[in-house]
A and B are shown apart, each in its own frame.
Chain A
Amino acid sequence: MEGFMYPNEVELQWSVLIVLYPFLTGLVAGAFILASLERIFRVEALKPTYRLALLTALAFLVVAPMPLQLHLGHPERSLEMYLTPHRSSAMAMFGFVYLWYLMAVLLMEIWLDYRKDIVILSRTATGLKRLFYKALALGSTNTSPTSLYVDDRVGWVITLIGIPSAFMLHGYVGFIFGSVKANPWWSTPLMPVVFLFSAMVSGIALVMLMYQLTSGLRERAVDMQCLDTIAKYLFYTFIIDFTLEMLDLIHRIYEADESFRSLDFMVHTKLFLSQIVLQIFLGTVAPLALLAVTQLVHLSINTRKRIYIVAGVCTLIGIFAMRWNVVIGGQLFSKSFLGYTTYKMGFVTREGLGPAIGLMILPFVILYVLIKLLPPWYKKLPAPDSAAD
Chain B
Amino acid sequence: MNLSRRQLLYLLPAAAAAWEFVLAGTPEAAPTYHSAEHWWGMLLDVTKCIGCGGCVRACALENDVPDGYFRTWVERYHVDDFHIESPVVDSPGGAKEGFPQSTLTGGKNFFVPKFCNHCVDSPCTQVCPVGATFHTADGVVLVDQNYCVGCRYCIQACPYGCRYFHPTKNVADKCTLCYHRIVKGLTTACCESCPTGARQLADLKDPKDPIHTFLKTHSVQVLKPHLATGAKNFYNGLDGSVR
Contact = CB atoms under 8 A, between A and B. Distances in A.
A89 B126 contact: yes
Report whether over half of chain A's contact residues are helix, strand or loop; otherwise say mixed.
loop
Contact of A4 (B90, B127, B147): B90
B181 interface: no
B237 interface: no
Contact of B130 (A7, A86, A258): A86
Interface in B49-95: 69-70, 73, 75, 85-91, 93-94
B149 A80 contact: yes
Contacts of A11: 164-165
B179 interface: no
Contact of A8 (B130, B153, B163): B163
A337 B89 CA distance: 11
A78 B151 CA distance: 9
Contacts of B164: 8, 11
Nearest to A77: B149
Contacts of B93: 7
B148 A182 contact: no
Contacts of A6: 73, 91, 114, 160-162
A75 B148 CA distance: 10
B227 A181 contact: yes
A264 to B, nearest CB: 14
A73 B170 contact: yes
Nearest to B72: A7
Contacts of A72: 149-151
Contacts of B73: 6-7
A270 interface: no
B174 to A, nearest CB: 9
A9 B161 CA distance: 6
B152 interface: yes
B157 to A, nearest CB: 6
A200 to B, nearest CB: 26
B161 A335 contact: yes
Interface string B120-139: 00010111111100000000
Contacts, number: 123
A78 B170 CA distance: 13
B171 A86 contact: no
B155 interface: yes
Interface in A87-141: 88-92, 94
Contacts of B212: none
Contacts of B128: 86, 89
B162 A84 contact: no
B129 A91 contact: yes
Contacts of A142: none
B108 interface: no
A147 interface: no
Contacts of B152: 13-14, 73
Contact of B165 (A73, A86, A91, A331): A73
A306 to B, nearest CB: 42
A4 B95 CA distance: 13
B148 A86 contact: no
B156 A183 contact: yes
Interface string B89-111: 11101100000000000000000
A8 B151 contact: no
B74 to A, nearest CB: 10
Contacts of A183: 156
A151 B70 CA distance: 59
B184 interface: no
A51 B86 CA distance: 57
B205 interface: no
A335 B160 contact: yes
Contact of A77 (B69, B87, B147, B243): B147
A361 B91 CA distance: 43
Interface of A: 4-9, 11, 13-14, 68, 71-75, 77-78, 80-81, 84-86, 88-92, 94, 176, 180-183, 258, 331, 334-338
Interface of B: 69-70, 73, 75, 85-91, 93-94, 114, 123, 125-131, 147-153, 155-165, 169-171, 227, 243
18 contacts: A7-B69, A7-B94, A11-B164, A13-B155, A72-B149, A73-B170, A77-B147, A81-B129, A84-B130, A85-B129, A86-B128, A86-B130, A89-B127, A92-B129, A181-B227, A183-B156, A336-B243, A337-B243
